[in-house]
Amino acid sequence: MNCGDDIRVRHVVALMEEHRAAPLPVEQLAQAVNLSASQLTRLFREQTGSSPARFARELRLQYAYELVQTSFLSIKQVMAAAGWNDPSHFSRDFKRQFGVSPKGLRGLHRSADAAVEHV
């Protein structure tokens, strides 16, 4: 994901990454870089092509995707680590972003690992 050249946008992205499990509201992110929420949203969109909320959601989904593939956490634990508290929203957003549900991805990943072990 492109986080732009502006140091304020890069700082906001770092805060988003640091607070994945409990995402910060845009107002708090803006305050951290001494901007209003509307100024941050405008600057963020100019730099990244996305709103802060959408960028944060996609960042959290990417993190969840990586956890599903690389960790032994349950899907519920992955969901919490990525900042979701509603399983249906998480699964729907995950599937919309990646074309497969979290459980489906884990099954594909484990099937591929098993196939490699038998070769």
Handedness of CA 18, 22, 26, 29 (dihedral sign): negative
User: Is residue 109 scored above 90 in pLDDT?
Assistant: no
Query: CATH 1.10.10.60 occupies which residues in the chain?
Result: 7-55, 57-117
* CB-CB contact of 102 with 66 (8 Å): no
Q: Please state which of the four CATH numbers 1.10.10.60, 3.20.20.210, 3.90.245.10, 3.30.420.10 is assigned to the domain occupying 7-55.
A: 1.10.10.60
* CB-CB contact of 26 with 37 (8 Å): yes
* CB-CB contact of 68 with 75 (8 Å): yes
Q: Select from 109, 63, 55 the least CA-distant residue to 82.
A: 63
CA–CA distance, 22 with 42 (Å, rounded to integer): 23
Question: Tell me, what's the pLDDT at 99?
Answer: 96
Fold of 57-117: Arc Repressor Mutant, subunit A (1.10.10)
Let me know how long the chain is: 119
Q: Select from 66, 95, 69 the least CA-distant residue to 82.
A: 66
Q: pTM value?
A: 0.83
35-88 pLDDT tens trace: 999 999 999 999 999 999 999 999 999 999 999 999 999 999 999 999 999 999
